[in-house]
Structure 1
Amino acid sequence: MSAPRCGGCACGPLPVIGARFAVIAHGQPGDPGALQPALESLAARVSAELGAPVAGATLACPRSLSALRGVQAVYPLFMAGGWFVSSEMPRRLRAAGVEGYGVLPPLGADAALPALGARLAQEAACAAGIDPAGATLVVVGHGSSRSGASADATRAFAAAIPHGFARVLTGFLEEAPFLHDLAPDGPAVCLPFFATNGSHMTCDIPEGWQRIGAPGPIAPAIGTTDPIPALIAAALRA
């Protein structure tokens, strides 16, 4: 028996599946079902890599959280271990009747991400005919006016990228320096330090990039790329 559908949610039936592991993302509070299919698809790919059942859920959809009763470990598909991971995720899981699980470090803390980010940025540059050696790499993170966790994680990621670009700039959506205030010198590649393809990827980042002249391509959100399921599976296996 699954929880009642939450207001405004378009998710389908979500029976309790008895998975040992779960991948949890933030989701979109204004549209709770928007990212649920993507999380289920990601969970299925992680499950195939791991050889064990894995569920996918978002904090925005209590119905999906209710299917996680009995999970042993939770993988936070977040870019920082801030308030949402340390406080709000446990609160919402507790409200959904989910207890007795362990929490792994979030995606953004994985040591494999900087090398993956470098590859994504290089591929985006090459596809656009841009020589990285003469271009700027713009790493964009969420940021927050209330906590430094997101900005700290974004800057740590940017500093660790073996990039091959002439320079690296870091900008944010919700704190200074804002993406729309950056001034890359010449061609540039935007590398989003984001976990999912929510509205920040579909609206906010493209709009901010346009405001500075769209000096090059926008790479995919790092959390949506092909190597991520194996990376998550490795963390769960360990």
Structure 2
Amino acid sequence: MPQAIIVAHGQPSDPDPAETSLARFAAQVDALTQDVSVHSATLAAPGRLEAVMDDLPSDAVIYPLFMAKGWFVTSALPKRVGNRGLRILDPLGVDPELPTLVCTALREALTSKDWVTEDTDLVIAAHGSGRSRNPSAVTLEFSETLGGLLPFKTLNVGFVEEPPSIADAASGAGAQSLCLPFFACTGGHVLEDVPQELERAGFQGTVLPVVGELPPIQHQIARKLDAAFAAV
């Protein structure tokens, strides 16, 4: 049976909870694939990725649960893979179908509240980076495409690690507003920084799950894994 590993960053200060959460996520994706066995590992858990890779054949693939094709995906991850020969697929954040998939989830959220898109503010809360423009560029490209698909009243983007801040982006959003955390996993930034910034802005709207946990995403990852082996 074809083998795959979903890899996320994890939490260096406390690796176990993120490992457990990712394992649960991978099990859900595994149930959605046609014939791919799906494993998981975070980069933060010492030796975890190497242990999983050593138990798999060299034709296994890695799906990076990251929002940008940045340093972790292009440098840190290949270095950890070494000469094992495993293929690294494109990460979640650069999937060309991502805006459409997120639109589906946003429409469901709007419908559940009987909200009209044109009367709703959307705040996208993302990581950003003080060292590289790549993460924010991916987020801004995503937001531009999303805005072309759904005509929100306002659509503002804010970052944890670069301006504009999430508080700045959320300032002025009305009670009929949604916040979409543009993150692959629910980690420290989502649990601490994003809520603090929204509180600082006086945000009164609804905070959605992170992009990686929206209902259509696991199905998409399963399709990507099936396709990775169908193309061989």
Report the TM-score, using the length of structure 1 for normalisation. Answer: 0.84
Please say if 1:207 is aligned against 2:190. Answer: no
Whether 1:20 and 2:3 are equivalent positions in the alignment is yes
Secondary structure of 2:163 counterpart: coil
Letter in 2 for 1:106: P
Q: 1:185 to 1:206 in 2, by over 3 A?
A: closer
The separation in 1 between residues aligned to 2:151 and 2:164, in whole angstroms, is 23
| Pairing of 1:168-183 with structure 2 (within 5 A) | 168-182=155-169, 183=171
Q: 1:55 to 1:222 in 2, by over 3 A?
A: same
Matched, 1:59 2:43: yes
What amino acid maps onto 2:156 in structure 1?
A: L
Q: Distance in 1 between matches of 2:226 and 2:165?
A: 38
CA distance in 1, matches of 2:85, 2:30: 21
- Aligned mate of 1:37, from 8, 20, 39: 20
The percentage of counterpart residues that share the same residue type is 37
Distance 1:58 1:143 in 2: 20
Change (3 A) 1:152 1:77: same
Indicate the SS of the match to 1:41.
Answer: helix
CA 80–170 in structure 1, closer or farther in 2 if over 3 Å, else same: same
For residues 191 and 40 of structure 2, the distance between their equivalents in structure 1, rounded to whole angstroms, comes to 21
Distance, in Å, in 1 between the alignment partners of 2:25 and 2:80 is 21
Tell me which amino acid in the other structure corresponds to 2:19: Q
Checking the alignment, whether the CA contact within 8 Å between 2:102 and 2:214 is kept in structure 1 is no
Deviates more, 1:117-126 or 1:202-211: 117-126
Structure ranking higher in helix proportion = 2
Is contact 1:23–1:55 with CA below 8 Å preserved after alignment? Answer: yes
- State the shift of 1:156 in Å: 1.1
Provide Cα deviations, 1:193-225, integer angstroms capped at 9, x if missing partner.
111111111111111111111131111101012
Q: Which residue of 1 aligns with 2:130?
A: 145
Give the aligned residue type for 2:97.
Answer: A
Unaligned runs of 5+ in 1: 1-17
Letter in 2 for 1:136: D
How far apart, in 2, do the equivalents of 1:114 and 1:39 lie? 23
Query: What secondary structure does 1:35 align onto?
Result: helix
What is the RMSD of the two structures over their aligned residues, measured on CA atoms? 2.0
Q: Point out the more displaced range, 185-194 or 122-131.
A: 122-131
DSSP 3-state at the match of 1:231: helix
Q: How does 1:99-118 map to 2 (within 5 A)?
A: 99-118=84-103
For the 8 Å contact 2:23–2:41, the answer to whether it is kept is: yes
Point out the more displaced range, 75-84 or 196-205.
196-205
TM-score by length of 2: 0.86
Partner of 2:64: 76
Which AA in structure 2 matches 1:150?
P
Kindly tell me: are residues 164 and 86 of structure 1, through their superposed partners in 2, closer, same or farther at Cα, counting changes over 3 Å? same
Unaligned runs of at least 5 residues, structure 2: 228-232
Q: Supply the AA of the counterpart residue of 2:159.
A: F
Quick one: distance in 2 between partners of 1:104 and 1:92? 15
Aligned length: 218
- Kept in 2, the 8 Å contact 1:124–1:217? The answer is no
Pairing 1:227–2:216 present: yes
